[in-house]
Structure 1
Amino acid sequence: MAAGRRRFGSVRKRESGRYQVRYPGPDGRQRSAPDTFARKTDADRYLTMIEAQMMRGEWIDPERAKVTLGDYADRWITQRPGLRPRTVALYRWTLGKHIAPYLGGVDLGRLDTALIREWRANLLGNGVSVSMAAKAYRLLRAVLTTAVNEDELLRKNPCRIPGADQEKPAERPTLSMGQALKLAELMEDRYRALVLVTTFACLRWGEVSALQRQDVDADSGLIRVRQTYTEIRGAGLVLGPPKSRAGLRTVSVPAAILPALRTHLAAYVDDDPTALVFTGPNGRPIWRGNLNQLIGWSAAVGKLGVPGLHFHDLRHTGNTLAARTGASTRELMARMGHDSPQAAMIYQHATAEADRAIAQAVSDAVKAERRKAKKAAASKPEKKAKDKEAGKNRA
């Protein structure tokens, strides 16, 4: 069939009735559009767009994007610097479970927002939670961001769905000071200090489970956080540095719980500086997976009246209590082990709301007292008049 004559590229009508586009790249080689077009005007518009991209230096050779998303994402995870083993395992699981079965065989160059939107809708429609779909979406977006910004395989990231990256998890419960102390009392002696230290030193599970005797100074009340345990599927417990540079820190332990910590060290921890502080009866590290059964967690929180409480909520409780002391954002970041002020500000926001509630309650009490005083003042002239009238009558 005859091809249309143009200043840039050519449009050819195929026997099927659809239009094929060809155009020269900057290297002089001819390229074809990845798809044919139903109308000639659409084909012409495509060529105009390609020509404009070349003039602006934004054109990307579609041949380079002929790599499947599955292969590219797999290399991305392998080559990404600074990923912790647990993160690598999580990314590979997410890719294999939620991304590759739908999009793994699609070339990068054929990904568009409509296809991403359909993929996400399929996840949610098949029962995947909003939280898990958000995690998968964020991973996909990160992979494609590299394809755009670093490898220049795509002109723009097709992950452009508003709100798809948001998990909106349910608010986790926190304990009051009294509940936290009561929970520790409900634990066996071996695990009482574990609950107290995790809560009041604001430690993550991986951090508290990796503490060694040499990390704890029970006299001065200091705990040095320098390593963490991570559970990796297929590899077991892996000892490594904290999740961020800010995780390397020294935390002050409240003096009120030091006696329990000293008692624990004397009863359950060897004198060897490398001996783990918190272990099971066999002296081995405690796995997160068998924590509940080992320490009788479910029974204890049931007696406490907070059956949905998770062990991680102890750190959440400790962070909340720390924020209520009026500590600054920077001080909270240092204690929690966060690089970003976002988490600290969340706790401060919750504390600010509680403070506003206190202020409102005090304000209501002040108003009530003023109304009471005003009512009493208004009743005095009336009482005086009555007393005066009563005096006249007696006279």
Structure 2
Amino acid sequence: MRKVETLTNSDGTTTYRVRFRHGTSPKTGKPLQTSESFTKKSDAETFSKWLDALGPQGALDKLYEGEQEKGIPTLDEIAADHIRLLTGIEEGTRLGYERLWSRSWGHLIGTTRADQLTADVVRQAVNDLAAGKGATGEAYSTKSLENQRGLLSAVVTRCIELGHLNRNPAKGVRLPEGRRVAVDSEDDEDDAEMVCMTHAEWDALYDTFHPHYRPFLRFLVGTGCRWGEAVVLRRGDVDLGARTVKIRRALKWSSDGQRVIGPPKTKKGRRTVVLPAEVVEDLRPLLDGKAGRDLVFTAPRGGMIVHRTFWSKNWRPALWRAQHCPTHTPAACRCGTGEPQRCKLHKTPPAPCGCTGTLAQAPRIHDLRHTHASWLLAAGTPIHVVQARLGHESIQTTVDTYSHLLPDAQLLAADAASQAFAGRTSTGSWLPRVQSLPDDALRQLAAALADEAEHRGLQLGPAAIDAA
């Protein structure tokens, strides 16, 4: 054991010193001598034993571990600083991150010290979230779990930058399969897995809506606009002669939790969208007598359409009615109204009946946007055109979101590979398929080819144009 020196100070008190070598001199490269002093001999002797057993650094860590712990922040504190210092985001987005952390990781591991986070702690927290043990008690969708893990990974990266961790324990942790979130949320954008309706399913839902809201619903599904973009659309944004609307603003959250009107979600969200003919005809009577700053779509008594009210009084009842045929909807049933809790026939609304002509799925309002994209892709619209129409900042977002809706593209790719193996060109494969298309589909294909050629800087020759 190291020698413990006894020292008498000028004021008559006694201290005990332990000398040891730690570190090296930058000039000579030789070990540096240092020491630690104690007021109690027993403490000095204990430190001396630690030096022999743990080495200089281990003994110092042991000696000062109490003070070190006091200075190490929790994950909640690290997360608060990370979110506060984010740049290039709007205050509503910052508020969203704060809420996301609070209801997920903050609830489960927020009090964990930054230096005590391990992969096992992360795995358990992820499993707890998937099982509905977060602050909301909900089972999260796969997309929500991915967003939450991304936020945790960013917070842990800050822990590493501050020296509290030497690796990211969230890296490589597999996500469990998220659950489909039921349509019981007022603010449903990106809460769950997407639902893309067929034309028949859309018709079933559209027919159940009050006539006042049908133009609004057809605008959403016919343009792919977000809810927040549509409800603040003004008369001056619409040009019926050109069949276009300009998306220049959106309803969003402010830093104090209030709804405010600001720019669209992304820079490319500022865009011009060409309207289907049916939507143009819907808009004509709505625009009569309105000034440039007047809202295009309003509630029945005027004013902006409120998501909470629309969802509870219109969307949810219409969805239920679309899911049940008249035979399975008794006259006294109130499940398809804005007050299903007053239904005396059912304690809980019955599941979809599954009869022909009914809606089997449970789309959210935001799924009208996904449905629009799926219709475009099914019609052969180039994906960069879909990106521009939806206002995605990056085409990668569009590809990541909708690539699974491109089965025909996968089939064509497989055909091309097969023909390459056989040493043939692809002309013989796709030409008969084109020749078999009806006139309307052929016109759509010609327009899509022209758009794609323009995007690539190509010019279609007269022969190609005549053939189209």
TM-score over 0.5 (shorter chain):
yes
SS state at 1:298 partner: helix
| Partner deviation per Cα, 1:273-313 (whole Å, 9 max, x = no partner) | 11111121232222222212343552355236226122112
Letter of the 1:32 counterpart: D
Instruction: Tell me the CA shift for residue 202 of structure 1.
Output: 0.8
> In the alignment, which residue of structure 2 is the partner of 1:58?
none
The 5-angstrom pairing of residues 171-190 of structure 1 reads 171-181=193-203, 183-190=205-212
- Give the Cα–Cα distance (whole angstroms) in 1 for the partners of residues 260 and 71 of structure 2: 37
> In the alignment, which residue of structure 2 is the partner of 1:57?
none
- Give the Cα–Cα distance (whole angstroms) in 2 for the partners of residues 21 and 277 of structure 1: 75
Letter of the 2:198 counterpart: S
Out of 343, 365, 374, the position equivalent to 1:311 is 365
- Give the Cα–Cα distance (whole angstroms) in 1 for the partners of residues 403 and 312 of structure 2: 34
**1:221 equivalenced with 2:219 (yes/no):** no
- Give the Cα–Cα distance (whole angstroms) in 1 for the partners of residues 89 and 178 of structure 2: 22
The answer to whether the Cα contact below 8 Å between 1:230 and 1:238 also exists between their aligned partners in 2 is yes
CA RMSD of aligned residues (A): 4.0
Out of 362, 370, 379, the position equivalent to 1:325 is 379
**1:352 equivalenced with 2:407 (yes/no):** yes
- Give the Cα–Cα distance (whole angstroms) in 1 for the partners of residues 109 and 63 of structure 2: 18
SS state at 1:76 partner: helix
Out of 156, 159, 167, the position equivalent to 1:144 is 156
The answer to whether the Cα contact below 8 Å between 2:222 and 2:372 also exists between their aligned partners in 1 is yes
Out of 59, 81, 85, the position equivalent to 2:87 is 81
Which runs of no fewer than 5 residues in structure 2 stay unpaired? Answer: 4-18, 24-30, 35-45, 181-191, 324-357, 416-428, 433-468
Out of 57, 61, 68, the position equivalent to 1:32 is 61
**1:159 equivalenced with 2:170 (yes/no):** yes
The 5-angstrom pairing of residues 204-353 of structure 1 reads 204-231=226-253, 235-266=257-288, 271-295=290-314, 297-299=316-318, 302-303=321-322, 305-306=358-359, 308-345=362-399, 346-353=401-408
Distance 1:186 1:65, change over 3 A: same
The answer to whether the Cα contact below 8 Å between 2:95 and 2:255 also exists between their aligned partners in 1 is yes
The 10-residue stretch of structure 1 (331-340 or 81-90) with the greater mean CA deviation from structure 2:
81-90
- Give the Cα–Cα distance (whole angstroms) in 1 for the partners of residues 63 and 88 of structure 2: 36
- Give the Cα–Cα distance (whole angstroms) in 2 for the partners of residues 341 and 165 of structure 1: 27
Letter of the 1:197 counterpart: F
The answer to whether the Cα contact below 8 Å between 1:135 and 1:165 also exists between their aligned partners in 2 is no
| Partner deviation per Cα, 1:305-350 (whole Å, 9 max, x = no partner) | 2261221121111111111232222211101111232443353542
- Give the Cα–Cα distance (whole angstroms) in 2 for the partners of residues 229 and 139 of structure 1: 24
- Give the Cα–Cα distance (whole angstroms) in 1 for the partners of residues 195 and 163 of structure 2: 45
- Give the Cα–Cα distance (whole angstroms) in 1 for the partners of residues 206 and 279 of structure 2: 11
SS state at 1:81 partner: coil
- Give the Cα–Cα distance (whole angstroms) in 1 for the partners of residues 306 and 293 of structure 2: 18
Instruction: Tell me the CA shift for residue 116 of structure 1.
Output: 2.2
The 5-angstrom pairing of residues 3-42 of structure 1 reads 20=54, 22-23=56-57, 32=61
Out of 59, 68, 73, the position equivalent to 1:67 is 73
> In the alignment, which residue of structure 2 is the partner of 1:108?
114
Instruction: Tell me the CA shift for residue 94 of structure 1.
Output: 2.9
Letter of the 2:168 counterpart: N
The 10-residue stretch of structure 1 (331-340 or 117-126) with the greater mean CA deviation from structure 2:
117-126
- Give the Cα–Cα distance (whole angstroms) in 2 for the partners of residues 126 and 19 of structure 1: 46
Instruction: Tell me the CA shift for residue 237 of structure 1.
Output: 1.8
Higher helix share: 1
Instruction: Tell me the CA shift for residue 138 of structure 1.
Output: 2.2
In the alignment of these two chains, the number of paired residues is 326
Letter of the 2:148 counterpart: A
SS state at 1:32 partner: helix
| Partner deviation per Cα, 1:212-249 (whole Å, 9 max, x = no partner) | 11111122111111111125696332211111112111
The answer to whether the Cα contact below 8 Å between 1:134 and 1:166 also exists between their aligned partners in 2 is no
- Give the Cα–Cα distance (whole angstroms) in 2 for the partners of residues 282 and 93 of structure 1: 33
- Give the Cα–Cα distance (whole angstroms) in 2 for the partners of residues 317 and 279 of structure 1: 23
The 10-residue stretch of structure 1 (155-164 or 206-215) with the greater mean CA deviation from structure 2:
155-164
Letter of the 1:75 counterpart: D
The answer to whether the Cα contact below 8 Å between 2:238 and 2:245 also exists between their aligned partners in 1 is yes
Instruction: Tell me the CA shift for residue 113 of structure 1.
Output: 1.9
Identity over aligned residues, as a percent? 24
SS state at 2:365 partner: coil
